[in-house]
Each structure stands twice: as structure tokens, then as C-alpha cells.
Chains A and B, each alone.
Chain A
Amino acid sequence: MDNLMNTVIQMAEGSEITLEIFFVTLIVALPLGMLAAIGRLSPIAPLSRLLEFYVWLMRGTPLMLQLLFVYFALPMVGIMLPDIAAALLAFILNYAAYFCEIFRAGIQSVPRGQYEAAKTLGMSYPLTMRRIILPQVIRMVLPPISNETINLVKDTSLIYILAMNDLLRVARTIVQREFDMTPFVVAAVFYLAMTFVLTWMFKKLEAHYGRYAQ
């Protein structure tokens, strides 16, 4: 029993870095992805092209490679980042690209007629966006964002390779030291619990924003 408590306490420390990566990535990448989607859909061709390239690059290469690149290659060209910042940079850039595509599809799914109806009612563009378009976009994007968020929970385990003492690395260290599989089970429970809470949260959100569609 004591042993298990000890394991859990050590792993709770490991989960700190995992949670930090998860929350910071989500909080920064979501608005960034939204902005990127607006830029991607803007009539400014160079901006749109640049963002298209960015999305293509981020989605076309493994996150693992991007992590290694930021962690090991950037210092070679003189860019030194603290470990956690390097990992966050890679995660945020990667996830913002996925969110960008999700928001782009969501914005494009709102029919022209919605903008036109708002305009004929005298609504300004910002008011139309805030009151008419965004609520509909949110409803469209919630399911794919829910998917990506749950992927992110599991993707945080990739920082394992950066030797940053995340949940998974702490687990492996204990397993190797004490010849006891419990830490792996504890890790699995941790990931499952996160996923469970997130799934429940998104279900609530989807019900709230989807209440108008039969």
C-alpha cells in the first residue's frame, strides 16, 4: 500500500509537466488556429498561401520529428530555448495547424445566406461574426476539436524522448528500478481519466451548442 502511494506521488510530479504541455498547447493553439483560419480565408493571397504551406508542413511531417527538430536542431543554429519552451513551441505549431484546418472548414460551412440575412437586417460585419457566424462555427467544430484534444492528451507522451521527466518517463524509471509494473497501470489510468473527463466535457458542450439542430 505504501509502495503504491509512493509510486502515485512520484508520478503526480511527472504528470505536472504532461498537464502543462496539454493545457498550454490547447489554450494557445486554439486561438492561434482560429486566427490562422481567418488568415487562410482572407482575400490576401500571399497570407493565405503562406498559411496553406504552414498547414501542409505541420500536418505532413510527424510531430515526433518536429519535436526533435525544435529540441536539437534549433540550438545548432544558435537558438537556445528552455526544454519546456522548446517542447511547447513544437506542440503549439503542430496543433495550431490542425485547428486551423478545422476552423477553416467550420467557417466555410456557414452558408452565404447567413451573412446576407444579417446584412439586410442592418448588422455590421463584427456583429454578424459574433452573433451569427461564430456560434454556428463552434457547433460545427466541436466534434473534430474534441477528437484533436483527446489526441493531444496522448501525444503529450511524445516528450518522453526529450528526457523531461514527464509522466511516462517517471513511470518507466520506477518500473526499471523496482521491477514492478504498477506505474504503467497508473499511467494508463491517468490518461484514461483525462480522456474520460474531456469526452464528458465535450459532450456537454456539443449538447449545448447543438440544441437547435433536431
Chain B
Amino acid sequence: MADMHSETMLRMTDIHKSYGRIEVLKGINLEVRQGEVLAIIGPSGSGKSTLLRCINRLETIQSGEIEICGQKLVHMEDGHSVYAADDEARRILASTGMVFQQFNLFPHMTVLENLIEAPIHVKHESRAEILPYARELLERVGLADRADYYPAQLSGGQQQRVAIARALCMRPQIMLFDEPTSALDPELTGEVLKTMRELAESHMTMVVVTHEMGFAREAANQVIFMAEGGIIEQGEPHEFFSHPREERTKAFLQSRL
């Protein structure tokens, strides 16, 4: 899949982020290439969500650089982070899509309306253009027969698959997932993970915060272990899971068995 020659899709350089006086990201560096799946694991409160949310400007950083598909969302100037202007930032971030732990579907719209809302009102595509693609995506996530349902009429697993399809409908190049299965009953996580695996196989670039070690081991090309706002260990899944080097990683993986 990903190799050294593929294009860098996401680069974060020396990211620092504080809430008030508490620093929650303490100098994060990472790089994700085209088609790569990066899994981020770590104990709760270690800054995984914050890191992910900094990528698409749901949170802002105080220092560091963020480059998405070769374009600078944030660059350093005189020791401070400077964000791209609002319009420019929105244009850069159009290549990212996000899936949340709580799905966050629009409850007043049907499944199909959820998918086509942003393509129509943000990208100004016509219904005729976007409808076939939306239906194709619903087919891909196995929900073609639920197009006219409202989110409240679906199970959690179905809602999360709709959320994935909704993000894909904007044709992103990088997909961000924040614990996409954590709000689901155990018997429903499988269907969402399957959808994510298929997405990975289609060479989508993905950054996935997850507690699903099986997914990280089998679907990721790169695993990062975070604790207390820093990256403790990073590696290929096979090496990472069978021979963790750091004590903290070992302890965390032990606790997850």
C-alpha cells in the first residue's frame, strides 16, 4: 500500500496545544502518506481527540505547523502559529472528512439528505449530480434500503455507517475517525469496523483514534501510542504489538488484553 514514494497527505510539526495553562499536546510530530492508515491509541485523557481535532481546526494550536495535501493550514511566523485565512482554511480542509464518536448525524434530515446536504449547499453541486454518488455510497456501507429513514430510526452501527458515507460524499482525501465504535454496543462495532477496513483497502488515507486493538493491528500501517500529550512510541503494527519497546506501551497493551 503506502510506500516511501507516496505523497505526504498530512504533516504535523512540533504541535503544542494548551487549554488555559494546561498543556495537552507537548510537541507532536507526525506524517501520513497517501493510502496510509494511522492508528492512534493511548489511555483516556492523553490528548488523542485533541490531536485529531487540531487537524481540522475544531481546536486551534498555539505553536507548530500543519500541512494538509501540501498546503499549509498553519505555519510558524516569529515563533507563533499563524492560521490560513478563513476561506483558505476551509478550502484546504475540504480534503478532510471526520467521523465522530457520537455520529452527529443531522436528526431532522433523512439519511440521503444528510449525505447530500453539504455537497449541495457547500460545493453547490446539483441534486442530479450528487444523488447517484450518494446512493452508491449508501450501497457501499450497506444501507441502500435506508435512504429515506431518519437517523432516530436506525441502530447506532447504522448511524455510524451513514456518518462515514456522509463524510465520503464530500470526496475527502483524508478521513479522520475519533473512536468511531466507542459509543456502540459491542455487537454493533463489527459492522462499522468492516466498513472502515473496506475504506482502508480502497486506499483512503485515514487517521483513526481507536481502542480496537484488532483494527489497529490488522488495518493500520502505522501505530502511535500517546500518553500525557506526547507520542511515546510509534511503529508498524506487527512490530509495535509483538515487540513494544517502551514500558508504558507494554503496560497499556497488557491492560487491553
Contacts and interface: CB of A to CB of B under 8 A. Distances in A.
A, B co-complexed: yes
Contacts of B110: 212
B106 interface: yes
Interface string A57-75: 0000000000000000000
Contact of A114 (B58, B94, B104): B104
Interface stretch (B36-44, B115-123, B139-147): B115-123
A111 B104 CA distance: 9
A122 B94 contact: yes
Interface in A136-180: 136, 139
B32 interface: no
B153 interface: yes
Given A116-B58, A212-B109, A212-B152, A122 B104 contact: no
Contact of B100 (A117, A135, A139, A211): A117
How large, as a class, is the contact surface on chain B? 20 to 34
A108 B118 CA distance: 23
Nearest to A114: B104
A135 B108 contact: yes
A109 to B, nearest CB: 12
A117 B104 contact: yes
B118 A116 contact: no
Interface string B181-198: 000000000000000000
Among B94, B118, B150, B170, the one with the most A-chain Cβ atoms within 10 Å of its Cβ is B118
A187 B99 CA distance: 58
Contacts of B153: 214
A106 to B, nearest CB: 13
A189 interface: no
Nearest to B56: A120
Interface string B106-136: 1111100000011001110000000000000
Given A119-B58, A136-B108, A212-B108, A131 B102 contact: no
A135 B107 CA distance: 10
A99 B136 CA distance: 44
8 contacts: A113-B104, A114-B106, A117-B106, A120-B56, A120-B58, A121-B166, A122-B93, A124-B90
The 8 closest A-B pairs by CB, nearest first: A121-B118, A117-B104, A113-B104, A120-B98, A212-B150, A122-B122, A135-B108, A214-B152
Interface of B: 56-58, 90, 93-94, 96-98, 100, 102, 104-110, 117-118, 121-123, 150-153, 163, 166-167, 170
Interface of A: 111, 113-114, 116-117, 119-124, 127, 131-132, 135-136, 139, 209, 211-214
